[in-house]
Amino acid sequence: MTAKMAREDRDKTATRGDLWVLEDRLDGRMDRFDDVQRRVILTLAELTGSIHDLKTYMVENMATKTEVRELRSQMDGFAGQLGDFRRQWAYQSDGLMSHERRLDDHDRRLGKIESRSQ
């Protein structure tokens, strides 16, 4: 099954095998999503330690206003990127959950059809 279905294929009934293929694809995407999440958390932990070290350095070495402004600007840029990532993450997570609900619904309906035909 391809990522994009042809218009005429959208109206065809999915088989249980089709659903298993989709479920496997969703599982793979969720695993990759979990890997990205772990990397982001590790990066944030490292940054938290680095920011603490940076604050200590700035206090000990009497940072100038220009240095503080530059640092603040860089931190604002990073915070914006993090916000963008979190929004994208939420959209993807919502989409994956929607697909999972649809797969469960398809599986339930296929089970009913199969029980009628036996």
Residue 111 host element (H or E):
helix 65-117
Query: Is residue 8's pLDDT more than 70?
Result: no
**DSSP class of residue 64?**
-
- Torsional class of 2: left (φ above 0), alpha (ψ -120 to 50), beta (otherwise): beta
pTM of the model: 0.37
Given this model, what pLDDT does residue 114 score? 81
Nearest to 92 by CA among 55, 40, 49: 40
Residues 47-68 have pLDDT tens digits of 777 777 777 777 777 777 788 7
Distance CA 97, CA 104 (A): 11
Given this model, what pLDDT does residue 9 score? 64
- Average pLDDT (3-32) is 73
Nearest to 37 by CA among 101, 89, 73, 106: 89
**DSSP class of residue 15?**
P
Residues 77-103 have pLDDT tens digits of 888 888 888 888 777 777 777 878 888
**Burial class of residue 32 in the structure, from the number of CB atoms within 10 Å of its CB (0-12 exposed, 13-18 middle, 19+ buried):** exposed
Residue type, 35: D
